[in-house]
Structure 1
Amino acid sequence: MNAKKRILILYTGGTIGMVPGREGYIPDSSSFRQVLRSIPDLHHPDMAEWELEQFSPLLDSSDITVREWNKIGRVIARDYDRYDGFVVLHGTDTMAYSASALSFMLENLSKPVVFTGAQIPLCQLRSDGRDNLINAMAIAASGKVHEVCLYFHGVLLRGNRATKYSSDQFAAFDSPNAPHLADVGIQIGYHESALRAPCQGPLRLTEFEEIPIGVLKVFPGIQFDLFASIMTERLRGVVLETFGAGNIPSYGHALLPIIEKAYRSGTIITVCSQCPQGTVSLGAYAVSKPLRDVGAVNGRDMTTEAAVTKLYYLFSRHLTKEEIKEQMSRDLRGELTL
């Protein structure tokens, strides 16, 4: 590692810096800088130089909104030329959403933005936060990564391919439809074929607007008419989590008139699968063909996190409906397999 590399640590909140409170763990800004200073590895001669920027207020990641995504993006854009990489400390619950969001917001990215956090706070015995932070710092300073990614418990994942799949294991994240970017043991083993090349041109930040977007998960016995009232022209985008390869229950075709009405009103319907691994293939089964016929977008193997944040991104660029549909079907940041 090049000790002259400069890394900015952005502390947004989350478990890694929390302390015990009367009603459970709570974010704490007063002691976090001191906690970092007490970690010997952060002051090792081989460690990159680093600075800390703490957000205010610090948030449990359940409270993260579009506003916080924009704030993270603005800080990175503001300091992009001053640092060689960025480490974003974030709560685990919505980390995959935030990593996906930043991957779309930051166009022409050629430096690493590494999200990480912890399942146990740094102030507690057996915290996983120390190793996550140290390895995220090493990755950010390596010069190998040129995109938004997520590091957790020995694996480096593409940010917009990651999803949280465990609430109580140290191995909290995976990317079921994409290879790891690196696996970390005694050595950091980068998978060169999986890494994205650095982009050309100046960094461009697209801040997200607060667009009305919904997620609808299909389940056995669902009463579609209950959702008709929310599928209005105000709802700009919907991610439909279907069974298997894009299948929906027929139930007398009760869902299709609702989707067709939403589509005519300008709502973009993107179909994703409830299966963690695999891809949507509209039309492969008779029960999925109607979705294709009414103009739904095939989300292929995108995660719900990626589909939601990609919709925010494309709507915030003020594209036409047809342009958004076309872009949703294209791979923009490595978020889907064509």
Structure 2
Amino acid sequence: MSSGGETPKLKSQGSRHDTTNSSLANIGGAQQNLQVLNDRKVLMIYASGATAAEGEVSESHMTVLKGRLEQRLKNISFLCDLEYTQYHNQEGCLTTPISEFGRRTVYKVMELEQITNSRQTSYVDIRHIAEIIKENYEKYSAFVILSGIATITYLGTNLSFMLENLQKTVVITGSLIPLSFMRNDAFQNILDSLILAGHFLIPEVVIVMDHKAYRANRCRQLKCDSLDCIESPNFPPLVEFGINIEIKWQLVLRRGEQMFTNDESTLELAPPFVTDIIIIKITPYTSVEHIRHILNTPKLRCCILECYHFGEMPHNQELYNVLLYAQQQLGIILIQISQCTKGQPIINFKKVVNGIIVQYDITPESAQAKIAYLLGKGYSQQEILRKFPQNLQGETESVRQFEKFEGQKQHFIQTILETLQKTSGDEQISQNMDIMNKYIIPNLGCFLATTGQLELIKDLRRNEGNLNIPDFDGRTVLHLAAANKQIEIIKYLIEEVHAEINPIDYLGYSPMYEVLISRDKELLLFFQQNGGIISAPHHVMVDLILSSGLNGDLQMLELIFHGGIKNLNEFVNVDNRNIAHMAVMSMNSKIIKFLRFKAKFDFSERDRWGSTPYENAIEIKSKKIKLQMLNEVSINEIIEMLATIGNE
């Protein structure tokens, strides 16, 4: 594989929080009270397929030249901001333009040694990709894999089982028409994949195709001649890319719910899969002799039977005897799945019948990968009969018959716990409390904070709810209370609960930033007195500060300054122009006075063209730059102040 050099590891904050917050910088002896979120770094692995191919559309006639993918990505402005990339090149990475979410995605292109036709993909190839992800897991925030369409569902399904304790987003995409064609599907699929990987934490393996992101192990290729060739017949898409990006967070796989551990774990590769597995499709032409012959294949460990309807076999005693012999004498595990593409779970449906696993709501790809995974784990036949019907990685729906929830009860948290206890089967009550803390309380608490329901938030805490745990956007109860100016809830969280005052969400914002943009001076001072900091992505603060200077928004600048950000010289745009340059352009003498007397601003710094704010003012005065409605009084006052500063 071609890695193109070692990439520095990202700093991590906890196992689920991959934000990379810089430490508080000490500039000019004064502590800069701002944390900066670096843009997320994504590893793009080109494994197979026609994405960067030359020649005919048909994958069998494609030619892939080494390095051509990166060349093409550089030439597409929406996938690579070439000027920014050249100025901020990180070990050969490319950088996207700023997205609608106000951030860039930095990504490294890695090509495998041999970019093959995806029809040649083997288990060894899939395992190799999993090992690459494992090797680079701590260096990158997310992963994008470019694959050929022919085997993309097999790749995604197998990776979903290989990557145990996955806490980062893994996106697989591909295309039917290469980037080399003017009209292609590669561009949009790559763009959607980079946006998803670079902005959102969806800790599972997903396939992105045709403006949708699906859970990989629920996907089938249902078409061969259409750009929407990948579908998820029995599970809705997790993400839809429309006018807005709609993420169905309630469907995102919660790792703790399926494979629960009390401690957060790092990524582990599952043991090598056992691949001695065969799939037989039952038809009226399938004879007992055919099946007997196949089941006598040397080293065969499992036979998956694609049966009729709900996974039903023909009623044939001779066939039953053959299957019974294979199971009991040869030790072959038998699994019956349905040939039907669609089918929802039925309550009380039997999962094991006469020692044969029956599971109709699973794809053939998932059934194969799942049993290979369980066999690789070394489980006995009895253990596999118990584990295979379980929902391990979101590959099948686990059926739970929930009672009607009465939300009107006074102690509604106890009601939730009672409901979980009644419907959790053999799960331990302590696990239910952990699930409550990780998945229910964060979202419920955020909702209650938004609507100002202090008493219900107190009820959450009385029932051992941890109000510091973030939701899937990394936002805590305090974030939402601050954003909605719920002063009583904020004071309760900080003064009584002693909640963490500076949690950073996945986009890099602290609760105090929410207060800043609401312009509530008293609340801002309350946060600062309790140790709060204004934290936001650096480019967001640059835009906020410079636009305040340009628009003469002195109130916002004073809030920023009194909120703890003292060194305003630190914030410059791509042209190295600072707030003083902006204030001169708008001829705002009040901003200049604030910068001089309160902020102790350094006016000597030069922009990209070598000009100081004073030289800009002289240039405006001399009419070298023509501005409408030139205010001679203001520009003269600014020149006089800046000249005085220069003489001091």
Computing the radius of gyration from Cα coordinates, the structure with the larger value is 2
Question: What is the identity, as a one-letter code, of the residue corresponding to 1:37?
Answer: K
Instruction: Name the CA shift for 1:270/1:282 in 2 (closer, same or farther; >3 Å).
Output: farther
Ranges of 4+ aligned residues in structure 1 off by more than 4 Å: 21-24, 279-284
In structure 1, runs of 5+ residues without a counterpart are: none
Matching residue within 338, 343, 351 for 1:278:
343
User: Which of residues 32, 53, 68 is equivalent to 1:18?
Assistant: 53
Aligned to 2:270: 206
Where 2:384 maps in the other structure, the secondary structure is helix
The partner residue of 1:6 within 41, 46, 67 is 41
Kindly state the Cα deviation for residue 24 of structure 1 after the two structures are TM-superposed.
4.2
The match for 2:379 is 319
1:257 partnered with 2:318: no
What residue identity is the alignment partner of 1:258? Answer: V
CA distance in 1, matches of 2:353, 2:274: 29
CA 1:124–1:297: 2 relative to 1, 3 Å: same
Aligned equivalents of 1:23, 1:248: Cα separation in 2: 38
Match of 1:102 in 2: 159
CA distance in 2, matches of 1:176, 1:170: 16
Q: TM-score, normalised by structure 1?
A: 0.91
1:2-48 C-alpha deviation (Å, 9 max, x unpaired): 87110000101112222226994235142222122222112142240
* Whole-angstrom CA distance in 2 between matches of 1:33 and 1:51: 9
Rounded Cα–Cα distance in structure 2 between residues aligned with 1:159 and 1:23: 22
Give the aligned partner of residue 77 of structure 2.
Answer: 40
Please state if 1:152 is matched with 2:233: no
CA-CA distance at 1:325 after TM superposition: 2.0
Change (3 A) 1:204 1:226: same
Query: In structure 2, how many angstroms separate the alpha carbons of the residues matched to 1:146 and 1:23?
Result: 31
1:66 touches 1:208 (CA, 8 Å); kept in 2?
no
How much is the aligned-residue C-alpha RMSD, in angstroms? 2.3
1:183 aligns with 2:219: no
> In the alignment, what sits opposite 1:134?
191
Instruction: Find the aligned partners of 2:358 and 2:307 in 1 and give their Cα distance.
Output: 11
Residue equivalent to 1:225: 289
Partners of 1:223 and 1:39 lie apart in 2 by: 56
Distance 2:379 2:229 in 1: 35
- Per-residue CA deviation, residues 44-85 of structure 1 (Å, 9 max, x unaligned), is 422400001111211211111110111011010111111110
1:222–1:19 CA distance, 2 compared to 1 (3 A): same
Q: Is the 8 A contact 2:60 2:117 kept in 1?
A: no
SS in 1 for 2:78: helix
Aligned partners of 2:187 and 2:119: how far apart in 1?
Answer: 22
Number of matched pairs: 331
Match of 2:114 in 1: 57
* Counterpart for residue 112 of structure 1: 169
Q: Quick one: distance in 2 between partners of 1:122 and 1:229? A: 47
Which structure dedicates a bigger proportion of its chain to helix?
2
* 1:64-79 to 2 correspondences below 5 Å: 64-79=121-136
> Residue 296 of structure 1 is aligned with which of 350, 356, 363?
356
For the residues of structure 1 that align with 2:337 and 2:63, how far apart are their CA atoms?
A: 34
Q: Deviation per CA, 1:73-103: give whole Å up to 9, x if none.
A: 1010111111110001001111111101000
Structure 2 residue ranges without an equivalent (≥5): 1-36, 81-95, 99-103, 257-263, 399-648
Equivalent residue number for residue 234 of structure 1 = 299
- Give the drift of 1:283: 11
Q: Contact 1:154/1:185 (CA < 8 Å) preserved in 2?
A: yes
Residue 311 of structure 2 contacts residue 359 of structure 2 at CA under 8 Å; is this kept in 1?
A: no
**For residues 326 and 27 of structure 1, what CA distance do their matches in structure 2 show?**
47
Q: CA deviation at 1:203?
A: 1.0
- 1:321 counterpart letter in structure 2: Q
Q: Is the 8 A contact 2:50 2:59 kept in 1?
A: no
Higher normalized strand content (fraction of residues): 1
Inter-partner Cα distance in structure 2 for 1:249 and 1:295: 17
